[in-house]
Amino acid sequence: MNFKIVTLPGDGIGPDIVTEAVKVLDKVGEVYGHTFTYDEQMMGGVAIDHKGSSLPQETIDACLQSDAVLLGAVGGPKWDNLPNGDRPEKGLLGIRGALKLFANLRPAVLYPQLKHASPLKEEIIGDSLDILIVRELTSGIYFGEKQKVVCEEDDSKTFASDLEKYTVAEIERITRVGFDAAMKRSKKVCVVDKANVLESSRLWRVVVNRVAKDYPEVEYSFMYVDNAAMQLVVNPKQFDVIVTSNIFGDILSDEASIITGSIGMLASASLGEGSLGLYEPSHGSAPDIAGQNKANPIATILSAAMMLRYSLNLEKEAVAIEKAVMSALDAGYRTGDIMSAGMKQVGTKEMGELIVNAIQ
């Protein structure tokens, strides 16, 4: 098959790591008989420099006409205080909005080869860990009505409020993304909410119970968010897919990611109604190591694997990438960020090459 992929290398280490992910995709294409056609576009700081906007219209148009979008990272001190108020991160929020991406998938995977890097004890994490957090991305308290009312006579009565609001349609579509993802994994979902106090959470439960009827094979449960925060560190292995609201997902995905101990390994996907999705590493543009062949390309390469799984429906090709990453780690190769005693340190390009050569 032929697939059209827009690449948005962006800033800092973005171009370094996207180059390696493209090499890996090309090898997958060669081995499995697919053609990936790339359309490189500008977004973020590089777009501000060359096109005068963090998100040029031509970039949006190209993404809308593609099968999937692979992004490196955006941002850097150079663009922090522009007189016109534009910022590289505005491009990122803008493209998510333009592509109507409402679901953010963040896997927290701890590889057995890197378990020493986890802050958790070995009795708790065992040999490895693999949790997928599905976070609602475009609604809830971050987007609900905001208000600030200043009381001139008595400042103690000044107040501000943010509204946690979800419609049935919004809950239903994120629930489906979570249950669909679970069908490709261990068929287990935990919906995290605060239904003991929040009316919106009680609506989530009603809708989830209804949607779940369409997925008789999926075993699902509910958990209050305060307990979930605790359970993630005392017994993370009980989780497979976690489905949750925007704010709870923001917090829990950061907590889960740190359990894995290595920012250079964490992929992510943002999905909408159709198959078009945006795939990017969870880390930023790491300007401190940009262009020095030091960045770990694995988070981006694993994001490309997610792209094959969720947008292009190429499950065995996705698994081939994940196995190739495993094999490079098994052989003892490490970039600087995941380096430990007795291992062989390599740069961005070498790690990319090792993974390319391990694709079967």
**Tokens at residue 274, please?**
């159709």
* 175 vs 303 by CB, closer to ligand NAI: 303
- In a 13 Å sphere around the CA of 315, the CA atoms on its Cβ side amount to 4
Judge whether 142 counts as a catalytic residue. Answer: yes
Total of residues contacting Mg ion (CB under 5 A)? 1
Total of residues contacting ligand NAI (CB under 6 A)? 21
The least distance separating Mg ion from the CB of residue 250, rounded to whole angstroms, comes to 5
The least distance separating ligand NAI from the CB of residue 101, rounded to whole angstroms, comes to 13
* 89 vs 180 by CB, closer to ligand NAI: 89
Active-site entry in 23, 27, 194, 294 = 194
- Based on the shown chain and the rule CB under 6 A, indicate whether residue 9 belongs to the binding site for ligand NAI: no
* 193 vs 337 by CB, closer to ligand NAI: 337
List 214, 288, 315, 330, residue binding ligand NAI (CB under 6 A): 288
Report the SS3 class of residue 260: helix
* Torsion sign (Cα): 3, 271, 130, 183: negative
- Based on the shown chain and the rule CB under 6 A, indicate whether residue 289 belongs to the binding site for ligand NAI: yes
Which of ligand NAI, Mg ion, none does residue 107 bind to, with CB < 5 to 8 Å depending on kind? none
Judge whether 162 counts as a catalytic residue. Answer: no
Burial class from Cβ neighbours inside 10 Å (0-12, 13-18, 19+) for residue 152 reads exposed
**Tokens at residue 240, please?**
């497979």
Which of Mg ion, ligand NAI, none does residue 250 bind to, with CB < 5 to 8 Å depending on kind? Mg ion
What's the CA gap between 113 and 355, in Å, rounded?
Answer: 15
- Based on the shown chain and the rule CB under 6 A, indicate whether residue 337 belongs to the binding site for ligand NAI: yes
* 17 vs 207 by CB, closer to ligand NAI: 17
What's the CA gap between 215 and 194, in Å, rounded?
Answer: 23
Active-site entry in 78, 142, 188, 237 = 142
Query: 27 has which bridge partners?
Result: none
The DSSP H or E segment spanning 7 is strand 2-10
Active-site entry in 61, 214, 226, 288 = 226
Residue of 236, 237, 164, 234 whose CA lies nearest to 204: 164
Binding mask 240-279 for Mg ion (x = CB under 5 A): ----------x-----------------------------
Q: How many beta carbons lie within 10 A of that of residue 336, not counting itself?
A: 15
- Based on the shown chain and the rule CB under 5 A, indicate whether residue 280 belongs to the binding site for Mg ion: no
Using alpha carbons only, how large is the chain's radius of gyration in Å? 21
Judge whether 250 counts as a catalytic residue. Answer: yes
The DSSP H or E segment spanning 242 is strand 241-244
* Torsion sign (Cα): 263, 264, 265, 268: positive
Interface ranges with ligand NAI (CB under 6 A):
13, 73-76, 89, 92, 263-264, 280, 283-289, 295-296, 299, 337
The catalytic residues are 142, 194, 226, 250, 254
